[in-house]
Amino acid sequence: MIKIKPLVLVVDDDIKTVDLIRLYLEKDGYRVLAAYDGRQALEIARGKLPGLIILDLMLPRIDGLDVCRIIRSESKVPIIMLTAKSTEDDKLLGLDLGADDYVTKPFSPRELVARVRAVLRRASSEEEAGPPELSYGDLVVDFVRHQARLAGEPVHLTPKEFKLLETMMKQPGRVFSRLELLEHAFGFDYGGFERTVDVHVMNLRKKIEPDSSSPSYIQTVHGVGYKFEGSCDVQ
């Protein structure tokens, strides 16, 4: 049986860029929709439910970062940022809002298609793996609803904080290197971002640990990385 490839929404205010991406995606078997501003992107994303979104950050009407934030609050659809901004802070901001990967302009259309394949593979494997909810002590994490609770109270995590917690909590006791956590939570293993794992873990500890200065959940393994300590209860 032939498997139908997901519908991809391409969002960019430059028609030539959209047409180029469409050409390469359709050549690879994907069905493609296009939007040329942020408001149109939200309407199509909500109405057509694409399997992946390629999203430029510099958009008219509604900025790409706001589009990313809104979509991620409503859906787990994979998002690849397309941006002319190349600074680390710009990339991290988009990734923190829930984007799964980024491609910097000017880009190789073939590389972009390869990124699309990789992000979709990762999203598919994550959907198939693991229980819908885990708990450890007072900490309960619902992976379907993307919600965390501590002693019954909701814990407000950023998408990347949630992904880091999910990655470690689903394999308690396993030590993850910073590069491994980058690949799981951010979708790439670029070494320049290793320091951001420490920042995210620090923020995560402040939200879920009874005492962040003496953490009981997320343990540091010096010289290696981090692990989630203890066994989890499947709900």
Ordered by where they begin, the domains of the chain are 7-128 (3.40.50.2300), 133-234 (1.10.10.10)
Structure tokens at 176: 């993850």
Specify the 3-state DSSP secondary structure of 15. helix
Q: What is the pLDDT of residue 189?
A: 47
Predicted confidence at residue 1, as pLDDT, reads 41
Q: Would you tell me how many other CB atoms lie within 10 Å of the CB of residue 172?
A: 15
Q: What is the pTM of this model?
A: 0.63
CB 4, CB 28: distance < 8 Å? no
Low-confidence ranges of the chain (pLDDT < 50): 1-2, 189, 191, 234-235
Tokens 């802070």 locate to 89
8-state DSSP, 44: H
What span, in angstroms and rounded, lies between the C-alpha atoms of 181 and 42?
A: 30
Which whole-number Å values give the CA distances from 124 to 118, 120, 143, in the listed order? 10, 6, 14
Q: What is the pLDDT of residues 103-158, one digit of tens each?
A: 888 899 999 999 999 999 887 766 655 567 888 888 899 887 788 999 889 999 98
Integer Cα distance of 207 and 79 in angstroms: 26
End-to-end CA distance of the chain: 35
Q: Which pLDDT score, from 0 to 100, does residue 3 have?
A: 60
Nearest to 142 by CA among 66, 49, 76, 209: 76
Q: Which residues contact 9 (CB under 8 A, 6 or more apart)?
A: 32, 33, 34, 35, 41, 44, 45, 48, 50, 52, 53, 54
